[in-house]
Amino acid sequence: MSAFDLVRSKILDDFLYKGDLSAGSKLPTAEALAQKYGVSYATIGKVVSVLASEGWVTRRRGSGIYVASEGTKARPPVKEKRIGVIAGNLHKLLPTRVLEGVERYAYPRSAVVEVASSFTGLGWEKDVEKEEEIVGRMRERGVDGVILYPTPVRKHREYLGETFRDFPVVVVDLYQDAMKRPHLVFDNQWAGREMGRLFLSQGRREMIFLRFDEKGYRSLDDRFKGMTSAFSEASQAIRTRVLDLGTEGVGSKTHLRLLEEILKMDPRPAGLVAPDDRYAHFSAEFFRARGLRVPEDILVAGFDALQEEEWGSPFPTTRPDFVQMGERAAALLMDLFEAPSNDIKEILLPCPLVHVMEAAR
């Protein structure tokens, strides 16, 4: 956003949308506004001229800037854009980061953000049903469009591909082709390929890939594709086994059972790729508690930069920028407000590897 657009938005918000000034009230001087917003006097002059042409303010020579009073050009009606953000558990870090990005983009543009969680506690299928219900309710209430961080598991029909076609929806992260919507995803296939090359560079030949047994995690699918492509390119004999975590969380009975199975495998795997950093950290601590050296005996890798300082030893992971994802999703959605389109646009965001050297020592 240019300095001009930002200052115009700020003046509207501070004095004309939410301010207590009535028609005919005086605004601060141009010099005071320039100091308040950290821009030049010339920029303030241009902004005030535009606001005057739009009917928001009047300028009185030698007197100052005033809120447009009766008798001047009528102030044009302004309808604030309303953006809906729908996600599962909004207490989790990644949806919170996306929401931060959406708000960071929307606020300077005087757009209102409405937030709703699709989490029911009754299982992912019920969460999908609630998600669909929320999309419909937001549309009925006059929300202009929605940014959706979708529930991953969808055993029933994919509603977004068939319904609400006249309603702008931008999907982030867990997009599926059946949705037929504009979307933003991280380049997890590239990240998986780079992770695979890391394991190859350390001579790891027996690999375990933990994933969920339900469909809906494009990120995990892309990572697995990337890793297997790295192994194929290397033309080396790599044994990769996929173990299903079900739909349970970190440290669940299923997670523990799979880790126990890994310990009993012959030969024992030299590498484990977890769905994210939480699973990686728990798995690494489990192996250490049973006498294995991590990463020397088994290299454990995670994803999504969820590592916390108190976890201690770092491990390979990725650092996708979910705040940027939220910002760009909001920008794409607001573009659709101005120029509606049914194009299925994909924005691929970088997903860099981090903590590689420290974990590999």
- CB neighbour class for 163 (10 Å; exposed up to 12, middle 13-18, buried from 19): middle
Cα atoms in the Cβ-side hemisphere of radius 13 Å centred on 94: 21
- CB neighbour class for 129 (10 Å; exposed up to 12, middle 13-18, buried from 19): middle
**Same domain membership, residue 203 and residue 138:** no
pLDDT score at 309: 62
pLDDT score at 44: 87
Q: For the chain, what percentages of helix, strand and coil (3-state, to nearest 5) are there?
A: 45, 15, 40
pLDDT score at 216: 60
pLDDT score at 313: 77
| 97 occurs within a structural domain | yes
**Same domain membership, residue 200 and residue 298:** yes
Mean of pLDDT values over 38-59: 84
Predicted confidence band of residue 235 (pLDDT cuts 50, 70, 90): confident
| 148 occurs within a structural domain | yes
pLDDT score at 211: 86
**Same domain membership, residue 177 and residue 138:** yes
Label the pairing between strands 82-87 and 145-148.
parallel
pLDDT in tens, 61-104: 778 888 876 444 444 545 689 999 999 888 788 999 999 999 99
Kindly report the CATH number assigned to the domain that includes residue 332. Answer: 3.40.50.2300
pLDDT score at 17: 64
Domain residues for 60? 3-67
| 72 occurs within a structural domain | no
Tell me which of 22, 44, 67 is where a domain ends: 67
Tell me which of 67, 97, 117 is where a domain ends: 67
Highest-scoring range by mean pLDDT, 1-15, 120-134, 160-174, 200-214: 160-174
pLDDT in tens, 23-36: 778 888 888 998 88
Predicted confidence band of residue 357 (pLDDT cuts 50, 70, 90): very low
**Same domain membership, residue 315 and residue 224:** yes
Highest-scoring range by mean pLDDT, 218-222, 252-256, 356-360: 252-256
Q: Are 252 and 274 in contact (CB under 8 A)?
A: no
pLDDT in tens, 100-125: 999 999 988 888 999 999 988 887 78
CA distance 13 to 2: 17
| 74 occurs within a structural domain | no
Mean of pLDDT values over 320-342: 93
pLDDT score at 64: 87
| 100 occurs within a structural domain | yes
Residues 6+ apart with CB under 8 A from 156: 125, 128
CA distance 247 to 211: 10
Mean of pLDDT values over 50-61: 80
Is the model's pLDDT at 260 over the cut of 60? Answer: yes
How many CB atoms lie under 10 A from the CB of residue 339? 6
CA distance 88 to 148: 9
Q: Are 324 and 297 in contact (CB under 8 A)?
A: no
In the chain, pLDDT over 90 holds for what percent of residues?
A: 44
**Same domain membership, residue 302 and residue 264:** yes
Is the model's pLDDT at 18 over the cut of 60? Answer: no
Residues 6+ apart with CB under 8 A from 87: 95, 98, 99, 115, 117, 118, 148, 149
Mean of pLDDT values over 185-208: 91
| 77 occurs within a structural domain | no
**Same domain membership, residue 309 and residue 195:** yes
Predicted confidence band of residue 289 (pLDDT cuts 50, 70, 90): very high
CA distance 119 to 219: 20
Q: Read off the amino acid at residue 359.
A: A
**Same domain membership, residue 192 and residue 181:** no
pLDDT score at 170: 97
| 327 occurs within a structural domain | yes
**Same domain membership, residue 121 and residue 10:** no
Q: Are 47 and 11 in contact (CB under 8 A)?
A: yes
- CB neighbour class for 147 (10 Å; exposed up to 12, middle 13-18, buried from 19): buried
Kindly report the CATH number assigned to the domain that includes residue 56. Answer: 1.10.10.10
pTM metric for this prediction: 0.74
pLDDT in tens, 147-188: 999 987 666 567 888 889 999 999 999 898 889 999 999 999
Domain count for the chain, please give it: 3
Mean of pLDDT values over 126-136: 92
Is the model's pLDDT at 294 over the cut of 60? Answer: yes
As a whole number, the mean pLDDT across the chain is 85
What 3-state DSSP class applies to 236?
coil
Sign of the C-alpha dihedral, residues 33, 39, 44, 45? positive
